[in-house]
Amino acid sequence: MITASTRIRATDVPPIPAARAWAARYDGRAGPALDLTQAVPGYPPPPALLAKLAEAAGNADCAGYGPIAGDGLLREALAAEMSAFYGAPIREEAVAITAGCNLAFAMVMQVLAAEGEAVLLPTPWYFNHHMAMTMQGLRAVPVETRPEDGFVPDPARIEALLVEHRARAVVLVTPNNPTGAIYPAEVIEAVARACRRHGAALVLDETYRDFLPAGRPHALFGDPDWGDVLVQLYSFSKAFCVPGHRVGAVTAGPAVMHELAKALDTYQICPPRPVQAALAWAIPSLRDWRAGNRALMEGRAEAFRGFVAQSEGWRLDAIGTYFAFLRLPDAAPDALRAAEILAAEQGLMTLPGPFFGPGQSRHLRLAFANADEEVLALLPARLAAFR
């Protein structure tokens, strides 16, 4: 019998299929099933982008290998957009395109830390980050965040843990998955300064930056030496509604990029070619469409707030971009059991807090991006299961 490695056996089971399995028992008594487990856009790419994707897929040039760090046109387009967004010059050479942001994170962890070394990971954490670290034998050190602080980490606490554990890196996800919290610029910048003082990297996952309110999220790229500390991650999946095409990006300084090339060549050889060609066109051409999507998500978040306010006993501890982190009523069972009941008896699929690390047994994550207001209006009746 084949025996799996100790690392992979220690890795958590994929949470979304596990949660959806509860819904397999749902008999339809409460109405149509509502799947709020996965962060997926609730609308397709615009027709013009679909046409570009089809055109590129039929182009023989896109059938061959490309540069391991991604095609130049897309790297150039992303670097130009980031320069405008962050108000600081970012060169094409600082950008690498990856086969999805999850792979970007896994490869960056390969570069930054070795087996047994510590990486600070605020809780609640994004489960795939923790899974990738477990597979690599890294030591994830939880950094507790609290509802009363808006689930924003404390830079002083992070600095103390950096020293205590001699951590190689700190991972921040903002806007956050799973809470939706947006970290203030002063918090992000304080953590970057702490990392610089202690020789650690700040891995900043900004997958959802396209859904931020107006204004720059931080000024880190304005520091000429940003590459000595910062490694930034990005995903095209949400902003351009192409999650199935698997394309993300890493932005880093020369030292990290030099070593990252080894992981890029080993794990992906090159990112998918057709979607790169389409996105190089889309970045400058779809700015207005993307702004409309940001407004749409803001409207869905506001509608979600209203429907939760109608739900006795439930408390919305955080909400933003794609996610809501919902506290269970006092009389409800713990989050794992509550999520199972909601899925199996009410047809409402959510992810329980323990999937996102320790100390989350009274919360559920709901990903509302794929649900319009008509669907969200069904929430109060389903949440009433624990009234």
Where do the domains of the chain lie? 6-44+289-386, 48-285
Q: Minimal CA–CA distance to 170: which of 135, 127, 205?
A: 205
Which residues on neighbouring strands pair with residue 326, listed in sequence order?
316, 364
pLDDT above 90: residue 386: no
Mean pLDDT to the nearest integer, 320-336: 95
What's the CA gap between 155 and 25, in Å, rounded? 44
Domain spanning 6-44+289-386: CATH superfamily: Aspartate Aminotransferase, domain 1 (3.90.1150.10)
Cis peptide, bond prior to residue 124, ω within 30 of zero = yes
Q: Which pLDDT value is given to residue 133? A: 98
Q: Report the C-alpha gap between 382 and 377 in whole angstroms.
A: 10
**How much is the pLDDT for 368?**
92
The residue to which tokens 């339809």 are assigned: 28
Q: How far apart are CA 87 and CA 205, in angstroms?
A: 18
Distance CA 317, CA 190 (A): 24
pLDDT in tens, 22-55: 999 999 999 999 999 998 888 899 999 999 999 9
Mean pLDDT on 118-134: 98
Q: Which percentage of the chain shows pLDDT scores above 70?
A: 100
Question: The dihedral of CA 72, 73, 75, 80: what is its sign?
Answer: positive
pLDDT for 385 equals 87
Nearest to residue 195, comparing CAs of 169, 217, 215, 176?
169
Q: How many CA atoms lie less than 13 Å away from 196 in the CB half-sphere? A: 14
Segment 292-302 shows an average pLDDT of: 94
Could you give phi then psi for residue 310, rounded to 5 degrees? -85, -5
**What does the pLDDT read at residue 18?**
86
Residue 387 has pLDDT above 80, yes or no: no
pLDDT score, position 36: 95
Residue 214 pLDDT level (bands cut at 50, 70, 90) = confident
pLDDT tens digits for range 1-18: 999 999 999 999 999 998
Using alpha carbons only, what angle is made at residue 355 by residues 309 and 3, rounded to the nearest 5 degrees? 160
Average pLDDT over residues 89-116: 98
With contact defined as beta carbons under 8 Å apart, do 217 and 82 qualify? Answer: no
| pLDDT exceeds cutoff 90 at 215 | no
At 61, the pLDDT band (50, 70, 90 cuts) reads very high
Name which CATH class applies to 48-285.
Answer: alpha beta
Q: What whole-number distance in Å separates Cα of residue 117 and Cα of residue 169?
A: 9
- How much is the pLDDT for 353? 97
- For the entire predicted model, the pTM comes to 0.96
DSSP state of 329: P
State the amino acid at position 68 in one-letter form: I
Check residue 213 and give its pLDDT. Answer: 87
The SS3 assignment for 351 reads strand
Phi-psi region of 281 (alpha: psi -120 to 50; beta: other; left: phi over 0): alpha
Percentage above 90 pLDDT, the chain: 96
| Average pLDDT of the chain, as a whole number | 96
- What gap in Å lies between CA 125 and CA 70, rounded to an integer? 29
- Tell me the mean pLDDT in the region 162-177: 98
Give per-residue burial for 320-349: e unless 16+ CB within 10 Å, then b: bbbbbbbbbbeebeebbebbbbbbbbbbbb
SS3 content of the chain, % helix, strand, coil (to 5): 50, 15, 35
Token pair of 373 as six digits: 């207001």
Find where tokens 């998500």 sit.
Answer: 297
pLDDT of residue 357: 96
320 close to 180: Cβ distance less than 8 angstroms: yes
- CA pseudo-torsion sign 146, 365, 308, 243: positive
